[in-house]
Structure 1
Amino acid sequence: MNLLPFNWSAGELVTLPAIDSRYKKHIIGGAIGSTIKGAFGVILKQLVDYDILTFTYYVIVLSIDTILQVDTSDFLLSLTYMLENEITQSVDGSSIALSLSEGQFQLAGLPPDQYLMALTPGIYRFCRLDVKRDVLSEFSQQYDFLKEVALRAEHNLPVVYQKAPVISHRNRLLLDSILANKVNGTIGHITIESSSKRLLLLSLNDLEEQFRKYPVLGSDREEYEKIKAFITNNLDKKLTIPLLCSHFKIGKTKMQQLFSQLSMMSVHDFITIQKIERSKLLLETSLTINEVAIEVGYTEPSNFIRAFKKITGMTPMVYKANNGQIDY
């Protein structure tokens, strides 16, 4: 994970390959430190990279209002532990917002280069555990609530799990032990690795327990499955929340809650993903792009192309060409 001032040129920043000596009390033994300075203030970063995760500790001292861009391109899953002050992070082009207060932690999976943090003057301290892409599927086999995270990650869609819980006493002790480590070299590296991995597992266990503690009622799950089936059987139609609410005789809030709890995505995102998945199969046939758009409920091909590219990262034309059917 990298934090950089948004819309600031390289000439306006000073980057040091170590922690500024004025902030040496924050130095962690065994970590790689760096400092970014500018008129906005100072960003101190300390990182320890391991096989399955990366531990990062940030201290941010701001003198003016600043927007920071978060680069999470190597990760699909992160846990953020807020140690001082509070932050609100947003995902560009989405209603997703992560509000995190001091003493809370939060799990999120976010697409790269769409993640902004708007901060006011003050001091901010937080730690992050970023889980690497190639191990998310393994974790999702052990933790049920991560299955939906993995599903959304496949489609490059943001997800935030639950409201931010309070950092447990045992986890705070682990965090404090990492931040207090003064041993350098291999021993310091191994010490932080052990504590970081334990912190990750304990945090996931806490979230899994929360997931089980507040299960979805059987009747709600049954309703959800019926709505899902209706959607997948009517992808050639223009599906809207009002239409679904009317058909199933439930309120908009209830509809949104069902999908938020059981699929960890909005109704709109679920419908879009289903339409795009169906369109992929149709693009591998002799149907034209326009015909495929109609088959999945898009009356305007331009809207279909836009949605397809957002989900897959490529246009339908490129996908069709790559799969052996060129649309003349």
Structure 2
Amino acid sequence: MEYLIPDGNTMEKTLMPPYDHPYFIRYAEASCLTGTFGSVAVQRVPCPQFSLTQHIFKIRQPVDVHVRSTSPMITLGYFMQGGTAGTIAGLGRTSFTENHCHLSYVPPGSHFAHLEPREYAVLQVALLPSMLKELAGKYRLIREVWSSAVRGLPQGLQQTSCHIGPRTREVLHRILHCRLERPLRELQLHAHVLELLLLYIEDVQAAGRETDTRSAYHYTDDDLRALEAAIQLQRANPGDIRHHKDLAKLVHLHPRKLLDGLNLKYGINMNSLKIQTRITGACILLLETDMPVNEIAHQVGYTDSSAFIRAFKQNVGQTPLQYRHEKPGR
């Protein structure tokens, strides 16, 4: 990943262990960029099936940090100190809360976050699809990000955010302060990352059970299959502008049960689902056809091409034409 900070008075240096800061990875060197904005230190620990990247920001004045990634990523992100909002390629406007973690699939592109004066510590665990293959067969939320990465989808996916509990914080501490040397360290880190994944799944499932108690409906296995069918119908027809009541009728669900189920089981509302499917459909048409942008807008359900361009840029981080021309083979 490439970091761009709009500050003309920056200096780069390398920091070496030991460190006083509690969130630094004790066994990794750090690349540090300082300027009038403050400083950012980045540590990277590559391992065979995953990599760790720790970001320590000390911000003195408000700044927008731009990041560009050139390959798709599956990430577990841990905001251990500080929270912010930004725009992530393939996801659009996104908020990140202090002491929370989230699992995401992020396609290549440009991302930015706005940082206010304070300290931030963010650990990013980037996972290869091969590490998730077995878990993908057992857990839907893992399967969705794994499938998106394997297929190289242009639309990102962020799963439910959950609080960093005491057990997760203890595993993070063991990762940051591992005292073993390679190759034993890589084996231990691999075990810790698997533990983080399982704790995340457990915490999301527990949060889902708590959320279910706030619904007026009980969801049977048939209801859950109907919810999945509704999502697949919408994804297969991105230009479909039918009302949610018509979609509910097609999959034999009460309209209110459809809306509640999307929110409780998948963390999305009907409008978000439509936007996701429209943008994904548009990305496919931009790459696989020479169709003009205004025709693509109409094809995916937008009557106004300017509204389509705004929505596309908000979700992908580029205009439709920029997205088309920057992809290989175009």
TM-score w.r.t. the length of structure 1 is: 0.69
Please name the residue that 1:325 is paired with: none
Please name the residue that 1:159 is paired with: 157
- Does residue 1:125 correspond to 2:121, yes or no? yes
Select 2:260's aligned residue among 254, 257, 263: 254
Select 1:116's aligned residue among 108, 112, 127: 112
Please name the residue that 1:25 is paired with: 20
User: What is the aligned length?
Assistant: 302
CA contact (8 A) 1:275 1:296 kept: yes
Q: Distance in 1 between matches of 2:128 and 2:279?
A: 24
Q: Distance in 2 between matches of 1:79 and 1:101?
A: 14
- Does residue 1:90 correspond to 2:86, yes or no? yes
Per-residue Cα deviation, 1:146-165 (whole angstroms, up to 9, x for no partner): 22223444322222211222
- Does residue 1:245 correspond to 2:245, yes or no? yes
Displacement, 1:49? 0.8
Change (3 A) 1:190 1:70: farther
Alignment-mate amino acid for residue 142 of structure 2: L
For 1:278-317, what aligned pairs fall within 5 Å after superposition? 313-314=323-324
Structure 1: stretches of 5+ with no match in the other structure: 323-328
Q: Distance in 2 between matches of 1:274 and 1:59?
A: 33
CA contact (8 A) 2:262 2:268 kept: no
CA contact (8 A) 1:55 1:128 kept: yes
Change (3 A) 1:140 1:268: same
Q: Distance in 2 between matches of 1:43 and 1:56?
A: 12
Alignment-mate amino acid for residue 140 of structure 1: A
Displacement, 1:313? 4.8
Please name the residue that 1:148 is paired with: 144
CA contact (8 A) 1:75 1:132 kept: no
Per-residue Cα deviation, 1:71-115 (whole angstroms, up to 9, x for no partner): 4444511122233x321242257554232213x322222234432
Displacement, 1:256? 5.0
- Could you say what secondary structure the match of 1:105 adopts? strand
Please name the residue that 1:193 is paired with: 186
Q: Which moved more, 1:135-144 or 1:297-306?
A: 297-306
- Does residue 1:63 correspond to 2:51, yes or no? no
Displacement, 1:32? 2.8
Per-residue Cα deviation, 1:42-91 (whole angstroms, up to 9, x for no partner): 212222111111112232212111222234444511122233x3212422
User: What is the aligned-residue identity percentage?
Assistant: 18
- Does residue 1:224 correspond to 2:259, yes or no? no
CA contact (8 A) 1:48 1:189 kept: no
Displacement, 1:200? 1.7
CA contact (8 A) 2:59 2:118 kept: yes
Alignment-mate amino acid for residue 100 of structure 1: T
Change (3 A) 1:115 1:139: farther
CA RMSD, Structure 1 to Structure 2 (Å):
4.6
CA contact (8 A) 1:77 1:131 kept: yes
Per-residue Cα deviation, 1:247-297 (whole angstroms, up to 9, x for no partner): 5362595375278348999312453267559969x969xx99999987766
Alignment-mate amino acid for residue 260 of structure 1: Y
Q: Distance in 2 between matches of 1:305 and 1:82?
A: 31
Q: Distance in 2 between matches of 1:180 and 1:232?
A: 44
Alignment-mate amino acid for residue 163 of structure 1: S
Please name the residue that 2:7 is paired with: 8
Select 1:54's aligned residue among 51, 59, 81: 51
Q: Distance in 2 between matches of 1:92 and 1:126?
A: 15
Per-residue Cα deviation, 1:132-186 (whole angstroms, up to 9, x for no partner): 36655565345431222234443222222112222342x32332234334x6xxx
Alignment-mate amino acid for residue 245 of structure 2: C
CA contact (8 A) 2:53 2:124 kept: yes
Q: Distance in 2 between matches of 1:310 and 1:152?
A: 21
TM-score w.r.t. the length of structure 2 is: 0.69
Please name the residue that 1:78 is paired with: 75
Change (3 A) 1:259 1:143: closer
For 1:39-50, what aligned pairs fall within 5 Å after superposition? 39-50=36-47
Displacement, 1:131? 1.4
